[in-house]
Amino acid sequence: MNDTYTTEHLVIRILSPQNAGLVTEFYRRNADDFSLYEPINITNARTVHYQRQILEYEQRYFRSGSMVRFYFFEKNAPFTVIGTVSFREIRRGPYASCVFGYKMDQEHRRKGYCYEALKPIIDLVAEEFSLHRIYADVLPDNAASIHLLEKLGFQREGLQRETVFLSGQWRDHYLYSRIFPENRE
């Protein structure tokens, strides 16, 4: 697997701990918004030290084959992170699956960039890791994310009750998945 890919408008890269400043700026711009959808420590997420630790963790797990995260950049702004996608809990053998999640900078939404980045990367990761199934969780009121998942070929499997503690309460999530029948162990 390469560490850099390009699309029409984007550069999609795996980052190293030396890039912690780029990731920190991404979270500084978006942490309040992201906290509506995922359990993040907003204070920590805005520090270079914390983001360096996260990138070190991601590198270790990438080397072990259990996770991979890519960051997106506009081609004309190669030092400003505008999005990210992670594939974690990668399982091989008879389970051949993983969980994926993504974030997009609030100023770069509704430009088609998330679809442009996710479409090839999902297919690449599914093939590279011989995955049969990729899962995603989404809040029932997140219409934009639901639309994106369905456009990417994911299907709703059901409602997971009280799965994530967000903003002081347990929140339900829809479970979506995409099957890759061509990948057989």
For residue range 93-115, list pLDDT tens digits in order. Answer: 999 999 999 999 999 999 999 99
Helix-then-strand count for the chain, H and E: 5, 8
pTM of the model: 0.93
Confidence at 31, pLDDT banded by 50, 70, 90 = confident
The whole-number pLDDT of residue 45 equals 81
Let me know if residue 108 belongs to a domain: yes
CATH for 39: 3.40.630.30
Let me know if residue 96 belongs to a domain: yes
Give the range of the structural domain holding residue 71, as residue numbers without chain letter. 4-131
Contacts of 91 (CB under 8 A, 6+ apart): 97, 98
Distance CA 139, CA 171 (A): 8
Let me know if residue 118 belongs to a domain: yes
Residue (of 71, 95, 68) closest to 81 by Cα position: 71
Let me know if residue 179 belongs to a domain: no
H helix intervals, the chain: 20-34, 42-45, 48-63, 113-128, 143-151
Distance CA 32, CA 85 (A): 18
Q: Which two tokens stand for residue 122?
A: 């999902």
H helix intervals, 64-142: 113-128
Let me know if residue 156 belongs to a domain: no
Let me know if residue 25 belongs to a domain: yes
Number of domains in the chain: 1
Confidence at 185, pLDDT banded by 50, 70, 90 = low
Let me know if residue 53 belongs to a domain: yes
Q: pLDDT by residue (tens digit) across 141-155?
A: 999 999 999 999 999
24-27 contacts, C-beta under 8 A, 24 or more apart: 24/48, 24/50, 24/51, 25/80, 25/81, 26/71, 26/80, 26/81, 26/82, 26/84, 26/105, 27/51
Q: pLDDT by residue (tens digit) across 152-180?
A: 999 999 999 999 998 889 999 999 999 99
Let me know if residue 109 belongs to a domain: yes
